[in-house]
Amino acid sequence: MADSDAGGFTEWVVPAGVGREAALTRLMALDVRGELGSAHVRLTASALGVSERTVWDWLSVARCEGRTGPRPRSRFVVTREMRQELAVWGGNVSAVHRDLLARAVRDPSLGPVPSLSVFHRAVVRDLSAGERAGLKGGEAARRRFDVYGKRPRTHRNACWEGDHKRVPVRVDLEGSAVCPWVTWFIDVATKAIVGVAVTPHQPARDAVLAALRTGISRQDPYGPFGGLPGVVRVDRGKEFLCRTVERALGAFAVPVDDLPAYKPYRKGTIESLNGAVEEMLLVSLPGYTHRARPAEAYHPDPVGDLLSYPDFVRVVLDWVVWWNTEHHPAGLDADVTPLAAWEADPVPVEDIAEERLAFFALEDDGRVRKITTNGISWRRRAYIAPWMAGHVGMRVRLRYLPHYDGRIEVFSTEEWGQHLGSAYLAQAATLEQRRALSSVREKKARQLKADLKAAEKLRKTRYTETTTAAVPRPRRTVTSSQAEEEIARSRGVDLAARALPDLIPPREPPASWARPVVRPRRAAGAQTDVGKAETADGGPPWLCSRSAAAFVDEFQQRLVSLWVVDVHEK
């Protein structure tokens, strides 16, 4: 016990509840040994702030009941079944309480149900705030109440984190409004964005490889950030975990740390970057889709008022430069930019020669091709380049960017052969042709969508609304004649139902074919030599006049003759 000089109140070092159990344990041990005295009781009462009579009462209860603490109070406890009911009702405590009351009315053996206030206090006491939020909003809501630790700070290039970001901004791409995607990598230690790739659609492995190549290369305009990272941390995106990316990084002995799915806090640096770019840049751009709008109907900005795709890419890259050179992100020292943190880090950077990076983002089909007078044939299309003049007949190998067939890179036939140059598609369609083709494809897609929607309406039976617990009635009643007419119409379209195998009768066989001999039936009771043979041998009549071997030979000869005649006719 200590007295406060300023406020005049008493500050207890040990709480009363905890001090009672500890003190009684000590006093009971003294009592067993016969050493307990009034001085011990007086000292305990003074330390806990209670009277000596109270301590003696505690000792009496401990001797009789063996209990050193206060008697536990009976209270209502939320059971496992109630937790499941809370999950069914989405965390609605009042709805679960009404359900419990209804069950108690139907089955009195379940016992009394506590009041709503008691039940609500029990839910608050037995379930944490995160559990209650998870019952209402799911895992994402529960995660807001979790405590996350921070990884220890490391040096530059010790770890990169990569992710895709769907940009909520509509941009103009050849007359169509699209929402681009950004694929980027950030250095965890210095918060520097080392590699960026922008695609007008959902990215694939080519975007990941392009962003990695810009991150590893330190040549202009990508430097001074870059080099080989110690590890690349990504989530379970199929673009990051494909064999192409694994082989590309594995060639430089860079492991990929595959984090569990739906756990963004495991790579908090890149997730913070995704949120920062939207708050600092995207919200101010025309065509931002998350902008607050009036209560009237939503009217998107016309395509003419949107940024063009090249202008949008330029804006994003300029913002990346601003982030690296002027911004002071959280996690670094005050007034320190990512560039300053990068340059102040004494850890050496491991660079890769540019000739090795020429193979990084490219795939090789493993085939050796020859340069002809039409160029190089790849995927049944010709690729040409000015440097091919005078090299007809040379054997080369091709490498190409994934999902891009407008240009290929040509190398000599060695495994790490010399880069001879680039080749381009000889007969690429013009912009007008591509727009016309896109218009035709969109028209076909709309027509197919309309047909499928009409078929879905015909397939589904729609019912009238009900105000009582009764069986609904169909909205449209079909007559028997209408049903038969539609069934007949479907049969007329079905080619399998229209097949008539007996429509064309088979023609007469050619005269050269051997025909079976029809023998007249003998009269009943007629006695002949054959009949005698049949009676004697007990076998069929056609085996009585000749041997079985002779009959088999004649049968085989007839089969051969029929096969020869059939082949001749065909």
Residue 352, C-beta contacts closer than 8 angstroms, at least 6 positions apart: 216, 217, 227, 228, 252
> Given a cut of 80, is residue 124 above it in pLDDT?
yes
Q: 50-64, 67-81, 155-169: which has the minimum mean pLDDT?
A: 67-81
Strand pairing report for 256-258 and 232-234: parallel
Given pLDDT bands bounded at 50, 70 and 90, which one contains residue 1?
A: very low
Query: Rounded distance, CA 552 to CA 556, Å?
Result: 6
The enclosing H or E element of 555 equals helix 548-569
> Given a cut of 90, is residue 408 above it in pLDDT?
no
> Given a cut of 50, is residue 490 above it in pLDDT?
yes
Location of structure tokens 């007295």? 3
> Given a cut of 90, is residue 229 above it in pLDDT?
yes
Location of structure tokens 């070092």? 13
> Given a cut of 50, is residue 355 above it in pLDDT?
yes
Which DSSP category does 296 fall into? S
Burial of residue 500, with CB atoms counted within 10 A of its CB: 0-12 exposed, 13-18 middle, 19 or more buried: exposed
Q: Please check whether residue 190 is in contact with residue 342, taking contact to mean a CB–CB distance below 8 angstroms.
A: yes
Location of structure tokens 């009943």? 524
Q: What is the pLDDT of residue 455?
A: 79
Given pLDDT bands bounded at 50, 70 and 90, which one contains residue 17?
A: low
Query: Rounded distance, CA 508 to CA 16, Å?
Result: 115
Q: What is the pLDDT of residue 338?
A: 93
Higher pLDDT: 341 or 555? It is 341
> Given a cut of 90, is residue 544 above it in pLDDT?
no
The CA–CA distances, whole Å, from 17 to 44, 68, 126, 446, 516 equal: 13, 10, 21, 75, 113
Residue 534, C-beta contacts closer than 8 angstroms, at least 6 positions apart: 540, 541, 544
Q: Can you read off the two tokens belonging to residue 209? A: 């490889």
Query: Rounded distance, CA 397 to CA 561, Å?
Result: 59
Query: Rounded distance, CA 324 to CA 162, Å?
Result: 16
Q: Can you read off the two tokens belonging to residue 93? A: 């405590």
With vertex at residue 193, the alpha carbon angle to CA 259 and CA 191, rounded to the nearest 5 degrees, is 75
Average pLDDT score over residue span 148-156: 85
Q: What is the pLDDT of residue 441?
A: 80
Higher pLDDT: 303 or 495? It is 303
> Given a cut of 70, is residue 526 above it in pLDDT?
no
Location of structure tokens 């949107």? 306
The enclosing H or E element of 181 equals strand 181-187
Higher pLDDT: 485 or 122? It is 122
Q: 10-14, 38-42, 98-102: which has the minimum mean pLDDT?
A: 10-14
Query: Rounded distance, CA 137 to CA 128, Å?
Result: 14
Query: Rounded distance, CA 337 to CA 221, Å?
Result: 19
